[in-house]
Amino acid sequence: MTTEVEFFPATSQDKPEHSPDEVSSKAFWNQTSEQRDERFARLRAEDPVSWQRPVEEAVAPDPNDPGYWAVVKHADIVTTSRDNQSFINGQGVLFDLLPADFLEMSQSFMAMDAPRQPMLRKLVSTAFTPRRIKTIDEQIRVAAREVVDSFASDPSGEIDFVDRCAEPLPVRMFGDMFGVPDELRAQTARAAGDVVAWADPERIGDRHPAEVGMQACQTLHGIAAQLIADRRRDPGEDLFTGLVQAEVDGRKLTDAEIGAFFVLMSVAGTDTTKHTASFTVRAFTDFRDQQRWLMEDYDARITVAIEEFVRFASPVMTFRRTATRETELAGRKILPGDKVVMFYPSGNRDADVFADPDRFDLARDPNPHVGFGGGGAHFCLGNQLAKGMLRALFHELLTRIPEFEAGEPELLGTNFMRGVKRMPFRFTPER
């Protein structure tokens, strides 16, 4: 049975103020994760596929935008993710409304559908298979060791975890895989961070959010242009050379296409893993017994445990699809052209799937979380790499500096990435 809903008159002058209860409101995203989780829990129970007004104070508001369906239950997120015929990415994937030129420069195959999406994805996908990630396992371990070396014996016993520990490993691995020269890595990481931080007041300062995103994209396209010129002159073994040489649909990729590819990969590949590491170290502080449990047999337990790291952190909070045909989700009739937004952290706290969902439970098995997406054509390409990095980083951390305490995380103010800007980390230094 389907239920009709009354749409909010989006263009009407007398529309009510947004309330903090609405997932479209700015106030909703300015709350703590726990407050948001409470609201999601109510939506899951009472209105699992609810009609919502457009995002409040969108970066590029569209007066004709009627709103979207908010999908908050695990099962519906999985259905939406896997039905790539009924729910497509080609009409945009971000929850916020952003300028077209920014989207063009940043989303690449994440905002495409078949047949082009699988063709572009295939250009790099062999580098991310479990077998291939295993071959670079040693490289990841060495990198993780060096990251922890850089602070483990610091006599102050205090660092900013994000800056000194969570960020350097993914930035280095991304740089190695794409052949980004050392001197451009910090700039790449900074720009990739800005691409997702378009709504964070501290990060944008007195600039317009659209300007921050565009500047970051231009920086990354500039770096990509240098790499393109370099690889044309002097091809190597890295992924970037593969992109420069590839033919898709009988033609080479343009510089702009490679640039957008580079933006997508740099954002997807660095910020997500970094935030997961930060939330995980904080979870170990809050759930001490879990550290003890894991360290009783790290190698045997870490594979299962990492899934819980990702479920618990859920750094990617939202992605959107557009319906291509009339269909049904949780009894709601979805019409062609309707926007559908998935809220991954909500799916990951769904008590129908996860017993005691607010508990960080490393032995949770099976753990069918949707932190990497709900499956389907766009399921996270880098999930094996992310897990390889987390496994190596936490092995170093938990064996070398097992006595630590993560302080209160300072959260990024956006509705896209659940991110940590800074987090104090105190530890007993390694001798």
> Which lies closer to ligand HEM via its Cβ, residue 53 or residue 270?
270
- Least distance to ligand HEM from the beta carbon of 272, Å? 3
> Which lies closer to ligand HEM via its Cβ, residue 26 or residue 121?
121
Q: Which of 121, 141, 145, 301 binds ligand HEM (CB under 6 A)?
A: 121
CA distance 74 to 349: 8
* Binding track over 291-320 against ligand HEM, x by CB under 6 A: -------------------x----xx--x-
The residue written with tokens 């989006």 in the block is: 10
- Identify whether the C-beta of residue 267 lies closer than 8 Å to the C-beta of residue 195: yes
Structure tokens at 261: 């590819």
Collapsed DSSP state (helix, strand, coil) of residue 252: strand
Pick the stretch among 94-102, 144-152, 206-214, 366-374 that binds ligand HEM (CB under 6 A): 366-374
Structure tokens at 212: 């921050």
Q: How many of the chain's residues bind ligand HEM (CB under 6 A)?
A: 29
Site for ligand HEM in 322-361 (CB under 6 A): 344
Collapsed DSSP state (helix, strand, coil) of residue 187: helix
Q: Which of 52, 241, 276, 290 binds ligand HEM (CB under 6 A)?
A: 276
| C-beta atoms surrounding 337 within 10 Å | 11
- Identify whether the C-beta of residue 384 lies closer than 8 Å to the C-beta of residue 128: yes
> Which lies closer to ligand HEM via its Cβ, residue 52 or residue 276?
276
> Which lies closer to ligand HEM via its Cβ, residue 152 or residue 166?
166
Q: Which of 175, 213, 345, 373 binds ligand HEM (CB under 6 A)?
A: 373
The residue written with tokens 């020269």 in the block is: 181
The residue written with tokens 């938990």 in the block is: 398
Tell me 48's DSSP state: S
State yes or no: residue 195 binds ligand HEM (CB under 6 A): no
> Which lies closer to ligand HEM via its Cβ, residue 20 or residue 90?
90
Cα-based torsion angle of the residue sequence 160, 161, 164, 169 in order, rounded to the nearest 10 degrees: -160
Structure tokens at 170: 């993914």
> Which lies closer to ligand HEM via its Cβ, residue 18 or residue 86?
86
State yes or no: residue 166 binds ligand HEM (CB under 6 A): no
State the residue number with the nearest CB to ligand HEM.
Answer: 382
> Which lies closer to ligand HEM via its Cβ, residue 107 or residue 204?
107
- Least distance to ligand HEM from the beta carbon of 374, Å? 6
The burial class, CB within 10 Å (0-12 / 13-18 / 19+), for 397 is buried
End-to-end CA distance of the chain: 66
Site for ligand HEM in 382-401 (CB under 6 A): 382, 385-386
State yes or no: residue 81 binds ligand HEM (CB under 6 A): yes
Q: Identify the CA nearest to 416 among candidates 317, 320, 343.
A: 317
> Which lies closer to ligand HEM via its Cβ, residue 45 or residue 186?
186
State yes or no: residue 110 binds ligand HEM (CB under 6 A): yes
Pick the stretch among 245-253, 272-280, 286-294, 409-417 that binds ligand HEM (CB under 6 A): 272-280
Collapsed DSSP state (helix, strand, coil) of residue 421: strand
State yes or no: residue 381 binds ligand HEM (CB under 6 A): yes
Q: Where are the alpha helices (DSSP H) in 297-424?
A: 298-313, 344-347, 383-400
CA distance 352 to 354: 6
- Least distance to ligand HEM from the beta carbon of 331, Å? 23
Q: Which of 189, 268, 362, 406 binds ligand HEM (CB under 6 A)?
A: 268
Give the gyration radius of the chain's Cα atoms. Answer: 21
> Which lies closer to ligand HEM via its Cβ, residue 40 or residue 204?
40
> Which lies closer to ligand HEM via its Cβ, residue 82 or residue 301?
82
- Identify whether the C-beta of residue 305 lies closer than 8 Å to the C-beta of residue 313: no
State yes or no: residue 168 binds ligand HEM (CB under 6 A): no
- In sign, the C-alpha dihedral spanning 382, 131, 396, 144 is negative
Collapsed DSSP state (helix, strand, coil) of residue 391: helix
Largest separation between any pair of C-alpha atoms in the chain: 66
Binding interface with ligand HEM (CB under 6 A) = 81, 109-110, 117, 121, 264-265, 268-269, 272-273, 276, 310, 315-316, 319, 344, 371-374, 376, 378-382, 385-386
